[in-house]
Chains A and B, each alone.
Chain A
């Protein structure tokens, strides 16, 4: 959990509520695991739109839309690679609803933007979804070393934000934020500790590399490496993003976070 000033924590909470409200679908809510809402990515978007002159409502609508896409993509990632032959009725229902939940969140993104008559934004974000799925295929099939795996994952995780940002600011200086997104994703994988398809893929690569390390050890190593890269890239980032990245880097270090809060 990132420590923020009171106002931004409250703002974040309000945004979370708005997103959750928009996603509400009784049957899906009761029968599927709620998708993970990445607050680090939410903060990135808040920071991005804070740099623009967009009216507050538009900023909120864009943020909700982009987070819906993120959750749609993440939800579809949860679909089991191969359906079990001895699948129980509950497992079957879960698999089926996971597919539909992802599609539902995707449909909502289109509905919100179409309602706002933001067809250019529909196109821009659709381009990003297209690229992300290309990258997912590449991660699924082409990553044969853990280095390549994490590089592809970082690009994939940062893609949606970078594409959205490209409409408002020069994204040439935002490259270090791929590591910001990668750290956030890997930390989430560690926190959940589940056998996700991402970790299964990574495990198969580690086995081939014969490093003798466990999946969690490799992930921890990569989190540290990504933090070092992000730290090295802080100077190139626009100030607001550099500040946000520092917060991510200092997570868990309460004293330093307070210094940061106080400027």
Chain B
């Protein structure tokens, strides 16, 4: 079953969120407008709005309030993507030219800042200081996570906890915040809010680990970019870290990382092949699965509703996804 089928009953609300996003990013300057619309049209799974909507179901579900949070969170995510493409010097995102590729870095920077500002402007309709404090903290952490990712590039000597802390900041806490803010916006009981936050966190960790696995195992067509991109950028993701338990592999990679400017798709092929054929992919998936199990346990603390079941199915789908 495809992911959107799992939450098909939310389609009407998700369409309204999509419309609100389109209206929110309207800009006066034609290039800014085009860049923002291009970003929006590139699509994406809209997993954050889905989590906001589903979490909102555990309180008093009033779409205008929930929508405020869902739109703002997805726009913040979009703003970070357009800046990430400048950071990664990425030409393609989901198989389509990035804003920085179609225009330039400047336009990408302005578009990202514009969308971020619009998201905060939009979210300010929600007079719930705690929600703003949680989100602001999350954005700061997200940023620090990205700084740490750059700090740790080409650094072979890393521990599992370094990687986990990095992906916690990079991915998990925004998904966790999505689930939590949906609960806050709907006034859900505190114990449900906490369970939803932890569910989002565990799902986010699993999601990122699988993303990092797919970077090695998925096809270029599925990824929309060449496989092994993380390693090429010097990012030590979980499969690479686990593969480094093999001393010979570690030594060769250390040597390769000594001269990052000489690295290219071709020189990295043997490393990518090694990772794909070693047990590090399997072990990474096992760690991802442990997070999913924890996510399921959190769901057990929620009332047995259709929405709880949907959250469970989403987690299961994330655990099995292949693209």
**Residues of A with Cβ closer than 8 Å to B?**
25, 27-28, 72-73, 76-77, 79-83, 87-89, 92-93, 95-97, 99-100, 102-104, 106-108, 110-111, 113-115, 117, 119-120, 122-123, 126-127, 129-130, 133-134, 136-138, 140-141, 197
Contact = CB atoms under 8 A, between A and B. Distances in A.
Contact of A140 (B107, B113, B146): B107
8 contacts: A88-B261, A89-B260, A99-B83, A100-B143, A100-B147, A103-B83, A129-B116, A134-B32
A127 to B, nearest CB: 6
Given A111-B136, A122-B120, A141 B143 contact: no
A100 B113 contact: no
A119 B132 contact: yes
The 8 tightest CB contacts between A and B, nearest first, are A123-B124, A129-B117, A114-B132, A111-B136, A126-B120, A114-B136, A117-B129, A133-B114
Nearest to B124: A123
A191 B56 CA distance: 54
A68 to B, nearest CB: 12
Contacts of B29: 134, 137-138, 141
A72 B105 CA distance: 16
Nearest to B85: A99
Contacts of A117: 129, 132
Residue of A79, A99, A137 contacting most chain B CB atoms (<10 Å): A137
Contacts of A122: 120, 124, 132
A133 B110 CA distance: 6
B133 interface: yes
Interface residues of B, number: 46
Contacts of A97: 147, 150
Interface of B: 27-29, 31-32, 80, 83, 86-87, 89, 100, 104-107, 109-114, 116-118, 120-121, 124, 127, 129, 132-133, 135-137, 139-140, 142-144, 146-148, 150-151, 260-261
Contact of A25 (B27, B113, B118, B147): B147
Given A95-B86, A100-B147, A114 B135 contact: yes
Given A103-B83, A120-B124, A27 B136 contact: no
B129 A119 contact: yes
Residue of B120, B146, B150 contacting most chain A CB atoms (<10 Å): B120
